[in-house]
């Protein structure tokens, strides 16, 4: 079981490495596919690679990643037991927001990753990931700005069983604002109960 998941994910990596479905392939250094356990029960979905992620090919390895690591440690989680990816696999120049066209072009990869991993809990980080995931799972009418729905648990039944969707602030909000780090830690604590 575990092996075939790995094989499926490797096949997907090859596809993403060769992808030219939107213009971002032209300016990327490396696509950032995702990282962690394919058997994870919890999946984190961010927005798009930033400068450091583009340089290294690893998700959340820059300033926002350091914040994410701090929060995970605070709730006793290891990166190895979760899976982390983004909606877009290539960096938008200058870290601008993803466009609708780019999300439409790239999201099938995220859909396949969700299908392969079959997580029990999906944590969306920030507005873009939250809107995408909630719309995907039929919760469109419940979508609100992240300041209104962060830390709330939404339930949905999928073909692979019930899942929980939990929106969080994007960890980047805490890079220059320690108060937000406390808010994030408090929100993430819900994962200890629903784990």
How far apart are the two ends of the chain, measured CA to CA in Å?
22
What b/e readout covers 130-143, taking b as 16+ CB neighbours within 10 angstroms?
Answer: bbbbbebbebeeeb
- The reply to whether 50 sits near ligand URA by the rule CB under 6 A is yes
CB of 50 to ligand URA, least distance (A): 4
DSSP-based three-state secondary structure for 165: strand
Q: How far apart are CA 171 and CA 64, in angstroms?
A: 5
Q: Is 69 exposed, middle or buried (0-12, 13-18, 19+ CB in 10 A)?
A: middle
Nearest to 85 by CA among 136, 52, 123: 123
Look at residue 87 and give the partner it binds from ligand SF4, ligand URA, none, a contact being a CB closer than 5 to 8 Å depending on partner kind.
Answer: none
If contact means CB under 5 to 8 A according to the sort of partner, which of ligand URA, ligand SF4, none does residue 60 touch? ligand URA
Exactly one of 22, 48, 143, 191 binds ligand URA (CB under 6 A); that residue is 48
Least distance in angstroms from the C-beta of 83 to ligand SF4: 17
Q: How far is the CB of 1 from ligand URA (least distance, A)?
A: 28
CA dihedral 80, 52, 47, 176 (to 10 degrees): 100
Is the CB of 103 or the CB of 121 nearer to ligand SF4?
Answer: 103
CB nearer to ligand SF4: give 24 or 67: 24
Residue 86 touches which of ligand SF4, ligand URA, none (Cβ within 5-8 Å per kind): ligand URA
Q: Give contact residues for ligand URA (rule: CB under 6 A).
A: 32, 46-50, 53, 59-60, 64, 86, 172
């Amino acid at each position: 079981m575990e092996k075939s998941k790995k094989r499926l994910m490797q096949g997907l990596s090859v596809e993403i490495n060769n992808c030219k479905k939107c213009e971002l392939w032209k300016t990327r250094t490396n696509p950032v596919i995702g990282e962690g356990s394919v058997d994870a029960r919890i999946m984190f979905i961010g927005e798009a690679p930033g400068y450091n992620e583009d340089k290294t090919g690893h998700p959340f390895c820059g300033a926002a990643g350091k914040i994410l690591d701090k929060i995970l440690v605070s709730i006793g989680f290891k990166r190895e037991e979760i899976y982390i990816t983004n909606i877009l696999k290539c960096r938008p120049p200058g870290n601008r927001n993803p466009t609708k066209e780019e999300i439409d072009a790239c999201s099938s990869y995220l859909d396949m990753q969700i299908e392969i991993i079959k997580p029990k809990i999906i944590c969306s980080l920030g507005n873009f990931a939250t809107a995408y995931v909630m719309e995907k799972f039929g919760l469109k009418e419940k979508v609100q700005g992240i300041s209104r729905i962060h830390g709330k648990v939404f339930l949905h039944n999928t073909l692979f069983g019930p899942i929980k969707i939990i929106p969080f602030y994007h960890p980047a909000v805490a890079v220059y604002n320690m108060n937000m780090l406390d808010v994030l830690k408090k929100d993430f604590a819900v994962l200890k109960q629903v784990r």
